Structure 1
Amino acid sequence: MGIAEGALEAAAAYVRAHGRPWPESGLDEATQDPYHLQLLGRLSASVAAGIALADSAALQYQEALERGAALDATAWGQLALRVAQAKSVASEVAVDTTSQIFQTTGARSTANAHGLDIYWRNVRTHSVHDPLPYRQREIGQYLLQYLLQARLPQPRLRKPPA
């Protein structure tokens, strides 16, 4: 989420310094263009939601570590689900944010000299290491199959501490 946050801040700085309003807006300043305001507002809200979910997953993980051997399979499964949810939201929000910023910054901002493109490349690199459809499938599987059976998904990589 840090990359998306940085991209959003860089895009806002670019719009303040170099941005132009869309001709249809009838405005003289890019910082007052309702299209820019709406898009950056939506992206900012999405980034904040992604950060909140990641913080929730991190807190849940810390609590699991503190429980150590007392961590049961249910708590472990809930943690696996929360981590998959955070991964899903973070990846989608970051990819969306780093690609959509160009809608407000404009074509000139895609030049390497401005460095806005690096955010998208970095996010794509991170997001393809762990294929998102597999994490989303686990979430859906929980909702459609496990929830009815009062079961939680099993973590893929590690077992609860013994």
Structure 2
Amino acid sequence: MSVAIQFLVGLVFGTGLIVAGMADPAKVLAFLDLGAIPGGNWDPSLLFVMTGGIGVTMIGYRLVLVRSRPLLADRFALPPANRPDVRLVTGAALFGIGWGLAGFCPGPALVSVVTGGLPALVFVAAMLIGMALARRLAIRHALPPPLPLPRS
């Protein structure tokens, strides 16, 4: 049952990305082009999408975390409230650099694979290779593994 719900949530999320135009890397790159702010073609629509997502998340956390446990799992799978470490900062920097260069982040890239385009396929392939290399480096250097995804 939880896999069906996860699929439905992903479908709604992907549809939202398509409707908002966020599966189009040109739209994302137009937002990230801060040099265009004074005179030109800067596109603030991503800011509105992110603000809406943050608002929904804030409300969702307030409603969900008052429960003793989630509906479809035995416990909440929340990250520990630790300080940022080298791994987090490095990952965030690589994410930002990749996003700025390609105009894709993981969610919209996966949506774009379905809606078309070789650039999306190349990005997703590179993303998967990068994830595998990061996991291998973490194992080789005895870094703690990332939090596991909850299983149904």
User: Scaled by the length of structure 1, what TM-score is found?
Assistant: 0.29
Q: Which has the larger radius of gyration?
A: 1
Structure with bigger helix share is: 1
User: Scaled by the length of structure 2, what TM-score is found?
Assistant: 0.30
Greater RCO, CA 8 A, separation 6+? 1
